[in-house]
Amino acid sequence: MKVVYEKCLHCGCCVGSCKQNAIYLNDYILEFNDACNRCRRCIKICPVGALSLEE
Amino acid sequence: MQTYECDIVIVGAGPAGSVAAKYAAEGGLDVVLLEKRAEIGAPLRCAEGISKKWLSEIGMEPDPKWISAEMDGAIIVSPSGHTFKLDESQAGNEVGYVLERHLFDKALAEQASKAGAKIWLRTAATGVIKEDGLVTGVYANRMGEKIAIRADCVVGADGFESQVGRWAGIDTTLDLTDMCSCLQYRMVNIDVEPNYCEFVLGSAAPGGGYVWIFPKGKGIANVGIGVQGSKCKSGADAKYYLDKFINEDPRLNKGAVLEIVGGAVSTCPGLEETVTDNVVLVGDAARLIDPITGGGICHAARSGMYAGKVLTECAKKGDFSKEALSTYEKMWRDKMEDKLWRNWMAKEKFAALSDEVLDDLVLAIKESDISEVNVYNLLKVIKEKYPDLVAEFEDMI
């Protein structure tokens, strides 16, 4: 996952929306683990569009 | 690794955590309340509107220190601009105060401290300690130091992004239709009614959400939006709809933004399971939020109180098993579950309504002679005009 930290509000919206428990908000840094199945939920629900899939 | 021992460790010092800490500490328990941030109550994750009547339940007297503005009523705006204004005599329980959350949360934490709870700031839980499959505390990072906190019971008061429940094996996942992506601006230099909370319904906030304008006095207001998860298409949907709304509203479009607040709320009827052996979930972490209004402070504080009281009883018997803790689950279900379910079913219906039907409904409510406006009475009026809408949960009205 790619995070644009200039947009990120550290709000935890992505963390709580993840069905795979693949995201952890470690202070101001989002950590993604291998459970991520690229479902794009977090990307869609981010209120400011800070997330995208890495190409 | 430094190890600490206590009776109860609570993760998260929002309203749910602080109230749980207060009641557990008052019950004589050794309580440690963890807050990952450097300040309790900040940064804001909230629209700050609450009703009045439950404060006394948790032993709080209204205090001008943490009340930004007292509301006289509410304004409901239909998609095409019909407005329905309720004053306090009609609005009953559904309006009250707009808070200064960073001070309100600190006041609750202060009460927890007075009751004897320890509060550790800048301490983030990083996992649960498990022994023979049982949770026996949490690992944490306290100001850069990795520590272990052993406790008889762990309380997850860690909000929408709750990790404690997941670590403990409780299913906290949500359907996209049961959450809203939210964005809010704290605005100045705007022209809104100073003592009325405004709710704008319809496609301005897709999926049964709404735009809110909650005035905080001194020309400041929280202007925000909740967009249902399944209506979020590509990221930044909440920002798109909120910016669009503000740009098109002459009262707001010359204003300035002082603070940007992101977040999410669940709009489900609460988790199927909020306890397991040695673990209790409270507040947003237990998904205890009104599915219609998105309001959760009251549910957080009350569930925190129930948890604190039940933990006190459990400690007397030395039993924090799932079965013993189920008393907590029964308490919140007795007090909240019917209303959570009714409002969840209503939300499911309203999320699918067209702007035209919503316009009709607001007009119907405007023309009715509701003496006290609350979700219950509104549903009764809707039932008269659109019986099909409420047919499936008629017996709950």
pLDDT tens across B268-291, in order?
Answer: 999 999 999 999 999 999 999 999
B140, amino acid identity: A
Reported confidence tier of residue A55, pLDDT bands at 50, 70, 90:
confident
So what's the pLDDT on residue B397?
Answer: 66
Closest-CA residue to B294 (of B350, B210, B382): B210
Residue B94 in this model has a pLDDT that exceeds 70 = no
The strand pairing partners of B135, in sequence order, are B130
| Contacts A–B by Cβ distance under 8 A | 91
- B340: closest CA of chain A, how far (Å): 20
CB atoms within 10 A of CB A37: 11
List of chain A residues whose C-beta atoms are within 8 Å of the C-beta of residue B235: 43-46, 48-52
Q: Taking all residues of chain B, what is their mean pLDDT, rounded to a whole number?
A: 94
Q: Which residue in the block uniquely carries the two structure tokens 């009776």?
A: B7
DSSP reduced 3-state for B138: strand
Q: How many domains does chain A have?
A: 1
Q: Which residue in the block uniquely carries the two structure tokens 């990952």?
A: B36
Domains of chain B and any CATH numbers: 2-46+103-174+268-346 (3.50.50.60), 73-97+182-264 (3.30.9.10), 352-396 (no CATH)
Residue B196 phi, psi (nearest 5): -130, 130
So what's the pLDDT on residue B95?
Answer: 64
8 Å CB contact between B33 and B119: yes
Distances (CA, A) of B197 to B23, B75, B271: 32, 6, 29
The answer to whether A27 contacts B239, with C-beta atoms less than 8 Å apart, is: no
Q: Taking all residues of chain A, what is their mean pLDDT, rounded to a whole number?
A: 95
Reported confidence tier of residue B377, pLDDT bands at 50, 70, 90:
confident
DSSP state of B336: I
Residue range of the domain that includes A20: 2-52
So what's the pLDDT on residue B138?
Answer: 98
Reported confidence tier of residue B248, pLDDT bands at 50, 70, 90:
very high
Q: Which helix (H) or strand (E) holds B185?
A: strand B179-188
Q: How far apart are CA B177 and CA B348, in angstroms?
A: 8
Q: How far apart are CA B159 and CA B11, in angstroms?
A: 9
Query: Is the interface score ipTM higher than 0.85?
Result: yes
Compute the radius of gyration of chain A from its Cα atoms. 10
8 Å CB contact between B215 and B192: yes
> Which of B45, B124, B239 minimises the CB distance to A49?
B239
Q: How far apart are CA B60 and CA B50, in angstroms?
A: 13
The answer to whether B124 contacts A9, with C-beta atoms less than 8 Å apart, is: no
- Paired sense of beta strands A29-32 and A23-26, if any: antiparallel
DSSP B343-386: HHHHHHHHTT--HHHHHHHHHHHHHS--SS-SHHHHHHHHHHH-
> Which of A24, A41, A50 minimises the CB distance to B176?
A41
8 Å CB contact between B263 and B182: yes
Closest-CA residue to B190 (of B242, B259, B251, B260): B251
Residue A16 phi, psi (nearest 5): -70, -25
Give me the count of residues in chain A: 55
DSSP reduced 3-state for A13: helix
For the domain that residue A44 is a member of, what is the CATH number?
3.30.70.20
Reported confidence tier of residue B92, pLDDT bands at 50, 70, 90:
low
List of chain B residues whose C-beta atoms are within 8 Å of the C-beta of residue A18: 173
Closest-CA residue to B270 (of B320, B209, B339, B207): B339
